[in-house]
Structure 1
Amino acid sequence: MNEHHGKALYDRIGQGLARLSHWLGLIGGVFMIAAMMTLVVHVIGNVFGAPILGADEIVELLIGASIFCFLAPTHLKGANIVVDYFSKPLPPAMRNLADVIMTLVFALVAALLTWRLYVGGLSAWDRNKQSMFLSLPEWPTYLVGAIACTVWVVVILYTTWTSLRVFLGIQPPAASEEREHIDG
């Protein structure tokens, strides 16, 4: 594979992950809006003596699913909280190496979380685990979380590959990283 073909494939993978992450974020937003609407209807209903029984359960399941949907797009955009107190004074090459190592560690942690979501979802399915008041099945939330976290792990691995390419000098740092290192 020549260098041009490799770069084109790399760019297509990044674009595909960006689109997939964007859609996951939109789905997470729909879940979040549904949770907020449930709370609004519950509060208004409570004023008139007709609250939604089990509103907490509905909100819990929707918010849980939405949070998982936001992980991949947040990571892909580099919007995670970064504590660079110790790495900021390091030379750029060492910072880039630290980025590679830390994103690999992050990928391992995310993969562990994803694995446990799959196991938890299968367990919830097998035991027919349901919420207390409304008897809502819990496995769909696990399923959404596991799928979203699988995408998240792929995004983390992609960003690890990007960090490695920057470290090796194959790819320049993103414009925001260059500006940040100049300002810092």
Structure 2
Amino acid sequence: MREGSERTDPVTRIMHAIAGIALTTMMLVVVGDIVLRAVFGVPIQGAYDVVSIALLVMTMFGIAPVVARRGEIVIDLADPFLPEIVLRLLAVLAALIGVFLFAFFGWAMIAPALDAWRWGERSLELGIPKWPLWGVAFAGLVGIFWAYLLQCRLSVRKAPDAPSEEGGL
């Protein structure tokens, strides 16, 4: 899924929008905090928590659109001389490796999420419970798995597009 194909998939389009809103929120809070601290000597209460939550949302929801459009960094050393069927196989294999890696991340996230729920862990400044944030992270993982499914489906149908010199940067 190259140029613009994530626009046709509503799941990755929504995840992209959520990641963009989180990034915008994070930037506005950081700039506002710096300006208010420098000019008036009054920082934004809870800026640290808001930025850390926005960073979590941006990261977990921003990976899926990149995966869905095959926007990862790709080095096509063997693409010019390998047959299309081998390129398809390699693309499916890469997607499956991605699924296994993120499945491992999800499995490793279960214990800390349960601990945050059991012990009532809270954020530093605002005292927000942290267990719902783990739910946000798991929701992002579901979107990442969806994107890898899209990538597998596309790779089975046709060989992945080699990035152009412009698209590779």
Bin of the TM-score, shorter chain as denominator length:
0.7 to 0.9
Please give the residue correspondences for 1:1-184 in structure 2 after superposition, counting only pairs within 5 Å: 18-47=9-38, 48-166=40-158, 173=159, 177=161
Task: Note the residue ranges of structure 2 that are not aligned, 5 or more in a row.
Answer: 165-169
Superposition RMSD on alpha carbons, in Å? 2.6
Letter aligned with residue 124 of structure 1: A
Structure 1 residue 159 displacement after superposition:
1.5
How many Å separate the matches in 1 of 2:124 and 2:12?
33
Structure 1 residue 118 displacement after superposition:
4.3
- Per-residue Cα deviation, 1:27-68 (whole angstroms, up to 9, x for no partner): 111111111121122111111110124422321121111111
May I ask how many residue pairs the two structures share in their alignment?
A: 159
Which has the larger share of helix? 1
TM-score by length of 1: 0.74
Identity %, equivalent residues: 22
- Per-residue Cα deviation, 1:120-146 (whole angstroms, up to 9, x for no partner): 333212221112233222223221111
2:155 partner SS: helix
Task: Note the residue ranges of structure 1 that are not aligned, 5 or more in a row.
Answer: 1-13, 167-172
Select the structure with the greater relative contact order (CA < 8 A; seq sep ≥ 6). Answer: 2
How many Å separate the matches in 1 of 2:98 and 2:74?
12
Runs of 4+ in 1 over 6 A off after TM superposition: 14-17
TM-score by length of 2: 0.80
Structure 1 residues 34 and 84: CA distance shift in structure 2, 3 A: same
2:9 partner SS: helix
Structure 1 residues 53 and 179: CA distance shift in structure 2, 3 A: closer
Letter aligned with residue 165 of structure 1: R
